[in-house]
Amino acid sequence: MATQTRDAAIVGIHEYPQRSIDGMTPLQIKAESAVRALQDAGLNWSDIDAVYDAGDGAQGGMAGLSISEYFNIKPNVIDTTSVGGSSYEFHASHAKRDIAAGKAHVALLTYGSTARSQSFNIGTGGRMTAGPPTPLGNMESSWGMTLISNYALVAHRHMHEYGTTSEQLAEISVVTRAHAMRNPEAKRAIEELELLPGVREITVEDVVTSRMIADPLHLLESCIISDGGGAVIIASADVARGCPHTPVWLLGTGEATKYSEHGGDITTSAAAQSGPTAFGEAGVTASEIDIAMIYDSFTITVLTILEDLGFCKKGEGGSYVEGGGLYFDKPGQPALNTDGGGLSSNHPGMRGIFLLIEATRQLRGDSSSQVPDAKLAVAHGNGGMLGSRHAAATIILGRD
Amino acid sequence: MPEPKKKFDLPMPKFPEPDTEPFWDAAKNHELRYQVCDECGGIVFHPRRHCTHCPSLNLTWKTSKGEGVIYSYSVVRQNYHPAFRERIPYVIAWIDLDEGFRMLSNVVGVDDPASDVSIGQRVRVEWQDFEAASLPMFTPA
Ligand SMILES: [Zn+2]
């Protein structure tokens, strides 16, 4: 624990409760979430001196500036890292860095999306077919690689190398749905968005008999498409000690990217690089983690990342997720995505912020699937495409 | 029997795009090209301005034999893009070419994509000619 520092903590959170948001813009969702998170933290707009923004809702292409003006804040630090669903873990990592360096004291992260109500095509349309020519667009857009088929490339290779089965991958969907059914907001989403196979828990059989979208991945192995948003406030130790909730410390952070490489192994994700950095800085190991908030765009994303973060050896993810050990009420393994995840609660396109929010709820003792005496959580965001190029960041969180 | 004329065109490479234009120019002659660094011998693909292995700007285009193995694949069964929707189910794959580079493509010329395609399968390039470009696809060798 020699290297562990407690210089920055999550002190305010808000998850926008609706999954189908009519008549609101992403900017409004961000602002409303920010206000609720400020109330949660007992802070005011004037306390914020650092803003982190992935450009969702940016006006005039001026990410960082436009959000500051809309909020009416004058930050000393602006960070507009935009790497898809992992953006918020990058933002948290940078907020810790900037607070530790004394450049900022209170950092605001916000997210807002109306992906569902505006019917953004976030996965099953042609990729990179609009816009100006790019090298990657020219080399990839003619083959019809959908988002899910990109992830399916990883799943197939994982099955080929390690004997992983669809039934094992399905276990991830099953435990996530069980947690969603305990979360009133997720349960309402399942009802409102008419998720298959209805408002109930699901079985491995349900998953492997659901429609095949891109072999070997089925419909019930895929994240849902919802509206949503949220906000997270990260503060220095001095500020955090005065906030109403127990501080949730950012104990360690790591960031990484991964691309297709000649002869490379696509069953290993960027988590294999970001994980050791984060765990090393926090001075903890995977075996000590109580809560695993892992970006669940698809089942294979979770399986791969659990391996890469060291919860089990590479190739043993299939057996690791079997047997129900990832349920919130089963000791011995971490509780997985206790809010219901992207698979069964919400996925407005970039769900990384919800990983931080649910990890914070757990460490405060406020989750709808509360792990008794939870002390350590990991939030791992993965943005982009698992089978070709993605960015990932790992955040280790803990309480006093 | 010739295939019925496709109603919708596949998305095609767009120009000007100086990195990939030589690749697609050669593709019109059914040549599958990749770059090799003059300084370190490293292979660069997708095409780029620079060597990705050493600080060199001197790359030479080479032509692949177009033979390799399937590293991984997926059978796409849902795509709302009209050109792909009418081709469903089709196979996307990472192909490891024998020269040492990996490229994305389709595996074509199989009766049942779910049972006739496998990881490790040997494939060779098969060109499909369209007005805008010739696309390198792969078929079991
Ligand atoms: Zn070189």
Q: Tell me the CB-side half-sphere exposure of residue A246, using CA atoms within 13 A.
A: 14
pLDDT band at residue A124, thresholds of 50, 70 and 90? very low
Mean pLDDT within A156-175: 98
Residue with the larger pLDDT of the pair A221 and A122: A221
Mean pLDDT within A89-115: 97
Q: Where do the domains of chain B lie?
A: 13-64, 66-141
Q: Which two tokens stand for residue A70?
A: 């809309």
Distance between CA atoms of residues A94 and A251, nearest Å: 13
Name every residue in A having a CB less than 8 A away from some CB of B.
121, 124-126, 129, 132-146, 148-150, 152-157, 160, 211-217, 260-264, 266, 387-388
What is the side-by-side strand order in the sheet with A335-336? A77-79, A50-52, A106-113, A228-236, A8-15, A248-258, A390-398, A376-384, A291-294, A335-336
Which tens digits make up the pLDDT trace of B88-121?
A: 999 999 999 999 999 999 999 999 999 999 999 9
Answer whether residue A325 shows pLDDT above 80.
yes
Q: What is the mean pLDDT of chain A?
A: 95
Distance between CA atoms of residues A311 and A285, nearest Å: 9
pLDDT band at residue B6, thresholds of 50, 70 and 90? low
pLDDT confidence of residue B1: 53
pLDDT confidence of residue A196: 93
Mean pLDDT within A140-166: 97
Q: Is the dihedral of CA B49, B53, B56, B62 positive or negative?
A: negative
Cα-based distances in Å from B65 to A305, B34, B51: 36, 11, 22
DSSP A261-283: -TT--TTS-THHHHHHHHHHHHT
In the reported structure, the alpha carbon of residue B21 is separated from the centroid of ligand 1 by a whole-number distance in angstroms of 21
pLDDT band at residue B3, thresholds of 50, 70 and 90? low
Q: Which two tokens stand for residue A316?
A: 């043993």
Residue type at position B66: G
pLDDT band at residue A253, thresholds of 50, 70 and 90? very high
Residue B87 Cα, gap to closest chain A Cα (Å): 10
pLDDT band at residue A188, thresholds of 50, 70 and 90? very high
**Touching A: B residues 12-31, CB under 8 Å:** 12-17, 19-20, 23-24
CB contact under 8 A, A141 and B13: yes
pLDDT confidence of residue A126: 40
For domain B66-141, give its CATH number from 3.30.70.20, 3.90.1150.10, 2.40.50.840, 3.60.15.10: 2.40.50.840
CB pairs under 8 A between A and B: 133
CA dihedral A309, A310, A316, A318 (to 10 degrees): -40
In the reported structure, the alpha carbon of residue B51 is separated from the centroid of ligand 1 by a whole-number distance in angstroms of 5
pLDDT confidence of residue A13: 98
In words, the CATH class of domain A8-118+225-399 is alpha beta
**Touching A: B residues 97-126, CB under 8 Å:** 100-106, 114, 119-120
Which tens digits make up the pLDDT trace of A168-180?
A: 999 999 999 999 9
ipTM of the complex: 0.95
Please, are residues B121 and B70 in contact by the beta-carbon 8 Å criterion? yes
CB contact under 8 A, A264 and B102: yes
